[in-house]
Amino acid sequence: MIKNCKQVLRYMFGRGAFARLPELLAPRREGGAWTAFFVDHWFRGQPLAAQLPLQKGDEVVFVDTTHEPKTSDIDQHCGKLRALGRGLPGAVCGIGGGATLDTAKAVSNLLTNPGKAEDYQGWDLVKVAGIYKIGVPTLSGTGAETSRTCVMTNTRTGVKLGMNSDFTIYDQLLLDPDLTASVPRNQYFYTGMDTYIHCIESLNGRYRNAIGDAFSRQALQLCDEVFMSDDMMSPENREKLMIASYLGGCAIANSFVGLVHPLSAGLSVVLGTHHCVGNCIALTALEEFYPEEVKRFWRMVEKQKVQIPLGACRDLAAERYAALFDASIQHEKPLENALGPDFRAVLTRGKAESLFRRM
Ligand code: NAD
Ligand code: ZN
């Protein structure tokens, strides 16, 4: 199917770009409009928090990213902003990793659409454009800054699914590689690997498109340069990874993930494992499906001396393996992309258990 693809409207990229945030916000402040800032809680009390270009009426929400976003979190954020009685903000600005960027996207959509966040989990359910939104990543890899989704878990229904919509795409990005200097090394690696994994899954899939492939190949090249170098967190490499994440998000926006993400989603639902580390764990068991890519992954792990926490699924009760399977097999599109229409014949309960045991 030929799709009409939307991408981020504008981006500003470069070290120190964060200082330009006031100028990006200025047109959105006309008539005294206020701004809602969603900032990862790690920045509370950090210099960045003091550098926020705050004006009268602005609201700063520090997003607790201990757990990944829930639909109920989005409802609460919107409820609190509405209760301020200031009307709609002129802009929503998300500053943080994937969890915070997704929170800001979801809030922006829900402020202008009635109902609850869970009503919009799915494809193209958002009817009205959200509040103008600016994304400022402080951690590179998920591609949340460029994608057309914002992942949320609905604890009532157990569904982990985003608001997939053209309205979810950021209007403006501010990409400042200086902001990722403080990320802990393991976290930097896990999240960076999300780009690597998105791209290898999409390139190995059955549903390909030439533009997605071009984005993926370039993002993989940059990942290689970053993670096979002596210091993945040098200023130059932080720049490269920010670009890789941007391109990886563009790639995945118009193609599909593969086998890693469904299994990682199982880990997330059953064990609470976070997305990016979960992907790294899942990938280690998939050499049979992605032989060269898994070898390359281990070379990068060794080169950067990071730790991949394995062993959590080695010896679980039978019900837990069943739950892991159930949470994975429902991701039909990516599984079909990776394994073909008969994916259930390949990823049987028994096969899934043997894969999980190796994680
Ligand atoms: P995150 O946002 O969950 O943050 C991980 C940790 O890094 C947190 O403890 C946070 O406080 C910390 N952190 C962030 N920036 C920092 C900085 N500059 N210095 C120090 N600490 C910092 O991590 P993530 O891996 O970027 O995002 C994962 C989330 O992204 C998940 O919720 C996942 O579902 C979502 N995701 C979304 C998409 C999408 O297309 N929308 C794609 C993939 C993943
Ligand atoms: Zn991912």
Last residue of a domain, one of 180, 197, 225: 180
- Could you say which ligand is closest to the alpha carbon of residue 251? 1
Interatomic CA distance for residues 78 and 86, integer angstroms: 12
Question: CA 180: distance to chain centroid?
Answer: 15
Residue entry with tokens 């509370």: 44
Let me know whether 161 and 190 are in one domain: no
Let me know whether 16 and 132 are in one domain: yes
Interatomic CA distance for residues 197 and 252, integer angstroms: 10
Note down pLDDT in tens along the chain; length 359 residues. 788 889 999 999 999 999 999 999 999 999 999 999 999 999 999 999 999 999 999 999 999 999 999 999 999 999 999 999 999 999 999 999 999 999 999 999 999 999 999 999 999 999 999 999 999 999 999 999 999 999 999 988 878 889 999 999 999 999 999 999 999 999 999 999 999 999 999 999 999 889 999 999 999 999 999 999 999 999 999 999 999 999 999 998 878 899 999 999 999 989 999 999 999 999 999 999 999 999 999 999 999 999 999 999 999 999 999 999 999 999 999 999 999 999 999 999 999 999 999 99
Domain that holds residue 162: 10-180
Q: Indicate whether 2 belongs to any domain.
A: no
39 lines ligand 1 (CB under 6 A): no
Last residue of a domain, one of 180, 207, 232: 180
194 lines ligand 1 (CB under 6 A): yes
For residue 314, with 0-12 CB atoms within 10 Å meaning exposed, 13-18 middle and 19 or more buried, which class applies? exposed
Pairing of strands 35-40, 10-13: unpaired
Q: Measure 83 CA to ligand 2 centroid, in angstroms.
A: 34
Last residue of a domain, one of 180, 202, 233: 180
Q: Indicate whether 170 belongs to any domain.
A: yes
112 lines ligand 1 (CB under 6 A): no
103 lines ligand 1 (CB under 6 A): no
Q: Measure 275 CA to ligand 1 centroid, in angstroms.
A: 9
Let me know whether 129 and 191 are in one domain: no
Q: Measure 320 CA to ligand 2 centroid, in angstroms.
A: 23
- Could you say which ligand is closest to the alpha carbon of residue 41? 1
- Could you say which ligand is closest to the alpha carbon of residue 139? 1
Let me know whether 210 and 85 are in one domain: no
How many domains does one find in the chain? 2
Interatomic CA distance for residues 105 and 151, integer angstroms: 10
Let me know whether 43 and 167 are in one domain: yes
Q: Indicate whether 172 belongs to any domain.
A: yes
Interatomic CA distance for residues 201 and 120, integer angstroms: 26
Task: Work out the angle between the directed axes of helices 71-83 and 98-112 (0-180°, nearest 10).
Answer: 60
Three-state DSSP class for residue 13: strand
Check which CATH number belongs to the domain holding 277 and give it.
Answer: 1.20.1090.10
What ligand 1 atom has the least distance to the C-alpha of 137?
15
Q: Indicate whether 1 belongs to any domain.
A: no
Let me know whether 28 and 134 are in one domain: yes
102, 166, 198, 260: residue to mutate for ligand 1 pocket, most atoms within 8 A of CB: 102
Let me know whether 189 and 234 are in one domain: yes
Interatomic CA distance for residues 56 and 357, integer angstroms: 55
